[in-house]
Chain A
Amino acid sequence: MTDYNEAFKDIPGTVVFDGTQSRLGFHLNQFCMTLMKSENREAFKADPAAYLQQFGMSAEQRQAVLDRDYNRMIALGGNIYFLAKIGATDGFSFQNLASKMTGMNEDDYRAMMIAGGRSIEGNRSKSEHKCEGGKRG
């Protein structure tokens, strides 16, 4: 089982939501679930810091939410489908969130997708990634 989880770590720019991540991110992800109700979305928007105090999250996790640092939230156990509810509350599409996580602006990201997306070449493994600099398009 250790080998199963470890093997994914060779894939660049990717965090697999395994049991370790799930335990780490439990409260962060469960906070996100509360944003499926409109009154909670309003309460969160009205006072984000106070809203986050209701959940047993770490200070780092709270800060990552306040900063809307999605890569950091994922590193701290967030899962993208849960985190997307923060994006939805902010009025952003999945494409917008994805562009943020890649460090590209949304127009460039959208153009990359229209041109066929991020190439698999150079993006299969960390060793290949280093050699080729992680091609984008």
Chain B
Amino acid sequence: MARIVAGVATSHIPAIAAALDSGKSHEPYWQPVFSGYEFSKRWIAEQKPDVVVLVYNDHASAFSLDLIPTFAIGCAESFAPADEGWGPRPVPVVEGHPELAWHIAQATILDEFDMTIVNKMDVDHGLTVPLSLMFGQPAAWPCKVIPLAVNVVQYPPPLGKRCYALGRAIRKAVESFDTDLKVMIWGTGGMSHQLQGPRAGLINREFDTAFLDGLTRDPEALTRISHLEYVREAGSEGIELVMWLIMRGALAADAKENYRFYHVPASNTAVGHIILENS
């Protein structure tokens, strides 16, 4: 049977991609960011997941205002890096796992989550930056990836409580998949940041630290953070943290923190990263 062994959360800042792709990762500004992932790269090389369910948000790349799905699961064979305005990132094409993706889609829909099924989709920095941070710059990504895109751009995004419940449904779905697969779930985006308007540059280290602590101490309490509180305390783009709750919901109640990294800044954003493992 398939099983979820661990959860990873990480910010997915586009400037990280720009730094990596242009060979600037050793510059003094960027070195602390990338060194924060050295442990994680060693860890995941040992873990060797077969599949990552990668929860992220599309930043007006695959989804314009034509169509805005709240939860969209990528069921395609592969997903190409999107051109976000400066050409596609020079990273490998993302290979999907259509069989497991369809299984998760069916299981979660029958579990009352109205998923959108996506058979053609380019993936932007929200998905490829976490892959780069965890795997570096390989010729091909070392595992299959199931993209799970969450709308956090057009209000209202889903509630944290709903995201957490979806995570639980994904766990049930994965565990009912009749193939021996080692699966991870990643939640991306965050932590505190605001990219728009006169309040741009907002960082709230206390909020971020409490959120990281809460992932193991009391994740249910995190599900009660309102949209208003995210925007007020963590900035307008801090709302992305609801996606971390999908990751958390898919793990065991007693999942343990294995690693944490926090750094300000990367461009406009507080970089947050945590690894949680099921025992």
A interface, how many residues as a size bin?
Answer: 35 or more
- In the complex, what distance in Å separates the CA atom of A88 from the CA atom of B85? 5
Q: Of A5, A88, A99, A125, which is within 8 A of B84 by CB?
A: A88
Given A80-B196, A94-B14, A101-B196, CB of A85 within 8 Å of CB of B85? yes
| A102 touching B264 in the complex, CB below 8 Å, given contacts A33-B60, A35-B85, A118-B203 | no
- Contact among A4, A12, A74, A98 with B201 in the assembled complex (CB-CB below 8 Å): A98
Decide if the interface of chain B is mainly helix, strand, loop or mixed: loop
Contact with A along B2-26 (1 / 0, CB 8 A): 0000000000001100100000000
A98 touches which one: B156, B195, B204 (CB < 8 A)? Answer: B195
Q: Which of A13, A41, A112 is packed against the most chain B CB atoms within 10 Å?
A: A13
From B111-119, B163-171, B227-235, B247-255, give the one contacting chain A: B227-235
Contact of B64 among A29, A71, A113, A125 (CB under 8 A): A29
The verdict on A43 contacting chain B, using a C-beta distance below 8 Å, is no
Interface string of A63-98 (1 = CB under 8 A from B): 000000011001000011110110111010111011
- 17 further A-B contacts with Cβ under 8 Å, apart from A11-B231, A88-B84, are A8-B227, A13-B199, A14-B196, A16-B155, A22-B154, A36-B61, A36-B82, A82-B64, A85-B85, A88-B85, A94-B268, A95-B267, A101-B197, A109-B201, A116-B203, A120-B192, A120-B202
- A sample of 19 cross-chain residue pairs with beta-carbon separation below 8 angstroms, ordered by A number, consists of A7-B228, A8-B227, A11-B232, A12-B199, A13-B197, A71-B198, A79-B153, A80-B195, A81-B153, A84-B85, A84-B195, A93-B18, A98-B201, A99-B200, A101-B197, A116-B203, A116-B205, A118-B199, A134-B198
